[in-house]
Amino acid sequence: MSPTLAQVTGPAYTRIYSYGAARGENAVPNEDLIGPIDSSDEWIRQRTGIITRVRADKNTDAIDLAAEAASEAIEKSGVPADQVDLVIVATISNPKQTPSVSAIVADRVGANPAAAYDINAACAGYAYAIAQADALIKAGAARYALVIGTEKLSDVVDPTDRSISFLLGDGAGAALLGPSDTPGIAPAVWGSDGSKADAVGMNATLTDFRDGVAPWPTLRQEGQTVFRWAVWEMAKVAREALDKAGVEPTDIAAFIPHQANMRIIDEFAKQLKLPESTVIARDIETTGNTSAASIPLASHRLMAEHPELSGGLALQIGFGAGLVFAAQVVVLP
């Protein structure tokens, strides 16, 4: 008779214990960017809601930002760093193709020898990583997980690109997850539509750059295509996430969407019929669009400004390049 393989299981539920954050060192106002795109402060504010965005110093990279945010999340959680046995980093701005940001960060914060890997799901990356950490803890593959979204998008910006250059910022947000006696993270609604991958992403490949076929690759987008997709399709995803969690819009204490555009955020809230009591994250106003970092950064600021939200329900949704999306309801730490 063949031996039966041993199996492990984890806790029935997980929750977020704490958040950490790191923002680029420099506040960059609209006035500093309008020349190359022949625009104005008023035009940027009206179209995006951004007044300033944060960008990192030249010598600060996405790894530095991630380690700073992770250290704060660990400290606030009360979980010793050496007990963190899983680190997932969502990013599109690793300064090297390899090694992973996650392995370096795990070492910097004292979490060796945690399992560590990066994921590339752009602006949905953090929500993807939360879903994965939740599942892996419940499966018994980890006990405490560090989830980080980190970006230095200023390295991949063309200052003359009117479609996206003025949107982007730099920063990192982190969350520490672990076992819970009650449900703290609802099932995710996630997916993609790669048929529209050209709507937002890089305008060239690294091999094109190496071969002299294209200049340094930068981010670009078809603004109207992305706006329409986000407003109409992502509102459906958000509603599905509420249904999957078994809650109503009136149960939501906070709404934390990817900080892509203030007009998108406002339209979301309108379509979801969120009550006036729901606090809506608007971190984009002074941070900018930080892709995978935007939801945890917005969550961190929201909890700092509204500690009374602790224990309440938050609906978070990420969406971005590759038309990848993920939404879930979580209990705020």
**Residues noted as catalytic:** 123, 258, 289
- Measured CA to CA, the distance from residue 177 to residue 293 in angstroms comes to 17
3-class DSSP assignment, residue 54: strand
What secondary structure letter does DSSP report for 123? Answer: G
Residue 61 gets the label, from left (phi > 0), alpha (psi -120 to 50) or beta, of beta
Amino acid, res. 302? L
What secondary structure letter does DSSP report for 112? Answer: T
3-class DSSP assignment, residue 231: helix
Sheet hosting strand 13-23, strand order edge to edge: 13-23, 170-180, 145-152, 86-90, 115-119
Nearest to 177 by CA among 127, 119, 117: 127
Q: How many CA atoms lie within 13 A of 106 on its CB side?
A: 25
Using DSSP bridges, classify how beta strands 200-202 and 219-221 pair: parallel, antiparallel or unpaired.
antiparallel
Q: Are 315 and 114 in contact (CB under 8 A)?
A: no
Place of tokens 């106003």: 285
Report H helices in 109-252: 125-138, 206-210, 223-228, 234-245
Nearest to 175 by CA among 13, 14, 12: 14
- Measured CA to CA, the distance from residue 262 to residue 232 in angstroms comes to 15
Nearest to 294 by CA among 286, 216, 207: 286
